[in-house]
Structure 1
């Protein structure tokens, strides 16, 4: 007669394989079901939402909302804009709107800074080109036409450095942007690149206001052009006086490879 320990041992050997196999099968089945579940495709993602910044049309853009039109109105109906349109020596342009849609998203001003609470609409620009003397036949390269420009833009509330005051870097960028369009008329290729830019800040600039930037080329020598300008903050709701917020001067150079560049600033 087998001893009790030997009997229990045989009993366990006879029963464990059946129970053990069932347990392993159940685990494998559960793992297989879990894996199949995780591999099943989820619901398809929603279609991309439309993007529209006031005046800056992007792919799949929606029509401007009532709020967007309200922001645009302070510029579109401003008396200064109407007087500039009446000046036949100036030509009106909104270069950011005429920019190729494929270029606009990567452009710092027309793309990155464009938005409801940033640069709220595409700036209005008025460009002019006139000679320094009446006799064009005797003009030298240094006396050739010196173009000028007047630009109007509206600044939103998300362009501040100190809370409640527009960042000086943004004002510098706007000088550089308008200067580039101004000197584009002084180079045969229509393209100039910034070699030097100096900005003097005179008064704090406030968000939610319309600004006018006046610029003019003061000297042209071959592939170099010097330009100067000033930026004025217009009074809110037409009440008060204009405030000079900054002045700037810059040197632009027409690159030797200008003809191979994408024509962003040619007007």
Structure 2
């Protein structure tokens, strides 16, 4: 029995996935380095083949219809499946290129050491992105994987693998003596802002200890935090990855358990999770 010709092309599915990720024709065009007209033409051709509307245009952009969302999800899986198939049938050992997004301390502490160990089997291109942006890039197929801090919700049916659970510790100037959290009640604090789960959790710990922290700066940049601790004799909380190279005059109070932790996770699309390159990456990143 003869095979039926393929009804569409992978490129049209890639265009639909880009529209789903960006929510606009212009955004999809920028992602794919196409003109908006070319994106619209691919979408129109795909709708003719599907026999139904896949997207609805409005002043806010483009919203996929229910059939469009189903086709975009299936198309993304199919594109990843094709890539996986090519990786698995390679006759000779070859280099697989992966793009991975990660936040700064994960790049320094995890990816840079792993990069040399992975070559020549896996060649990493590292993209600096905070966890939320990294996940958006992953869904948009701009990267193949992301390292997140586990403090942000992972949606879109992505595959998550736990790499480590690290403590979040109180950080102070070396001259400050701290035995209990209450000893910092009169101190000036540096914490993450309203959107920072770590910052909010630290505030709750302070309140449970009977005081409201006097926050003089809101930041999650550990370099800025170190500068403020030295300049203003402030105190803060930082995850272990940010404490691999603490400047002189600053110390982590390791004897004080705040019962705060952060999950470090490797996140990828489901169809890529079982590929040799991603599995090798995951094994290499684990302690």
Same fold by TM-score greater than 0.5? no
TM-score by length of 1: 0.24
Computing the radius of gyration from Cα coordinates, the structure with the larger value is: 1
Kindly indicate which of the two structures has a greater share of residues assigned to helix.
2
